[in-house]
Amino acid sequence: MLRLSNSVTLADWEITLTQIRAQGAGGQNVNKVASAVHLRFDIPHSTLPPVYKERLLAYSDQRISKEGVIIIKAQSHRTLELNKEDALARLKALILEAVTPRKVRRPTKPSKSAKRRRVDNKTRKGAIKSLRGKVSP
């Protein structure tokens, strides 16, 4: 069971964990040990609250397919147990990141003094550059 918050949890049957062989260089055990984990989580068929589902399906992330399935591949550790924990932690982080509301950006205008300082700096810089010209004899 994966606990997302005090009131929201995911049951074990909702998350599909599959053992796969990890990619990359490995050594003697590379072709024998399946220590990587492939996690699949179906958003539309889950028991998540409707608000969570809407935000997850609207969230732009390459790990969420068009059908609404989250696919996470964990292979950074050498053992299967650590990769399972890593995959579940990444799933939890993805869901919580998608659900947290974004900070609303309020457009601001520069103050009059800031505009005045900018123009003064431009004129001062222009005066300095004009002095760099050729000196007439």
pLDDT of residue 33: 72
pLDDT score recorded for residue 112: 96
**Nearest to 89, CA basis, from 79, 78, 81, 100:** 81
The verdict on residue 93 lying in a domain is yes
Task: Give the domain extent around 64.
Answer: 2-99
Domain-located, residue 123: no
- pLDDT on residue 135: 80
Overall number of domains in the chain: 1
pTM reported for the whole predicted model: 0.70
* Cα torsion 106, 58, 86, 25: sign: negative
Q: 80-119, pLDDT tens digit by residue? A: 899 999 999 999 999 999 888 889 999 999 999 999 999 9
pLDDT value of position 111 = 95
Confirm whether 24 is domain-assigned.
yes
**With pLDDT > 90 as the criterion, what percentage of the chain qualifies?**
47
Query: Residue 109 domain-assigned?
Result: no
Residue 41 bridge partners (DSSP):
15, 70
Inform me whether the pLDDT recorded for 24 exceeds 80.
Answer: no
Q: Using 50, 70 and 90 to split pLDDT, how confident is the model at 125?
A: very high
pLDDT of residue 29: 64
**Residue 111, in any domain of the structure:** no
Look at strands 2-3 and 9-10 and give their pairing.
antiparallel
Which phi and psi angles does 15 have, rounded to 5°? Answer: -105, 125
What CATH number corresponds to the domain at position 62? 3.30.160.20
Provide the pLDDT for residue 25: 67
